[in-house]
Structure 1
Amino acid sequence: MNTAQTDTLKTAHQAFDYFTHGLATGEWQAFLDMLTEDFSFWFPIGPYHGLNIGKARTEAFLQYVSDTFEDGLTVTLDRVMSNDTTVVFEFRDEGMMRGQPYKNRVAIAFDVRGDKICAYREYFGSDGKSY
């Protein structure tokens, strides 16, 4: 593994730790602090479907996530793949979504620039939204 890939992986793992903390608790500030000013994210469904740009839009999205999963989500990491600029995390999450049992399989990609995350993409396929 080269130095660029090692640094990218270290930054992305820190961001992922902050991201999963946000999913569990609704506390997103540490994750937000790791984002570049021109941060963008892509989400597959709902009111944030497609490409979203800017920290204000990101903050609104993360609040939407916290409101949707008000008791938080637990995450089980399955695998991590990376290159010099992008790290992909595959994981399972579960909890309650608007009072109903929820579980899912998710892949998220973080694009890293320096010691910040400049982009995020999320993909998911259901294990079943209820047990």
Structure 2
Amino acid sequence: MTQEKEKTLKVAKQAFDNLMYGFETSDWNPLLNILADDFTFWFPIGKYHGLNVGKERAKDFFQYVTEVFGQTIKLTTLERVTSSETTVVFEFRDEGMMRGQPYKNRIAISFDVRDEKICGYREYLGSDGKSN
């Protein structure tokens, strides 16, 4: 593994840990603090569908995540981590409650890393048949 790929993986793993921490505590500051100023994210559904730009938009998004899930989301299985020199993809399963209903999902997320900051995030949803 190249030194650049190792640095990218380290930053992305920290971002993933901060994401899981945000789900469990509703404290998104550790994640927001490692986002680049020109951060972009892509989300597949809802009011954040498509490309979103900026840390403020990300802050609004994660607040929305807290409104939808509270502090119920838990990682159940980290299935795979795939990385390159600039991007790391995490495939995992999680579960909890979404607006008071059982939620269980398969998700793939990717983090783009530049200068030891997260500059991009993309999320892809699947379903284990128990989500709304």
TM-score (norm 2): 0.96
8-17 or 72-81, which deviates more? 72-81
Structure 1 runs (4+) greater than 2 angstroms displaced: none
Match of 1:43 in 2: 43
Report the secondary structure of 2:71's partner residue. Answer: coil
Q: Unpaired runs of 5+ in structure 1?
A: none
Instruction: Provide the identity percentage.
Output: 62
Match of 2:22 in 1: 22
Match of 2:90 in 1: 89
Does the 8 Å contact 2:24/2:72 carry over to 1? yes
Does the 8 Å contact 2:35/2:119 carry over to 1? yes
1:129 Cα deviation (Å)?
A: 2.7
Note the 1:1-131 alignment, pairs <5 A: 1-75=1-75, 76-130=77-131
Does the 8 Å contact 1:66/1:72 carry over to 2? no
After superposition, the C-alpha distances for 1:13-69 in whole angstroms (9 at most, x for unaligned) are: 011000111011111000000000000000000000000000111000000001100
1:71 Cα deviation (Å)?
A: 3.0
Report the secondary structure of 1:126's partner residue. Answer: coil
Does the 8 Å contact 2:86/2:112 carry over to 1? yes
Distance in 1 (CA, whole Å) between partners of 2:130 and 2:48 is 20
Which letter maps to 1:102?
Y
Which letter maps to 1:38?
D
121-130 or 84-93, which deviates more? 121-130
Does the 8 Å contact 2:92/2:106 carry over to 1? yes
Report the secondary structure of 1:103's partner residue. Answer: strand
Distance in 2 (CA, whole Å) between partners of 1:51 and 1:25 is 26
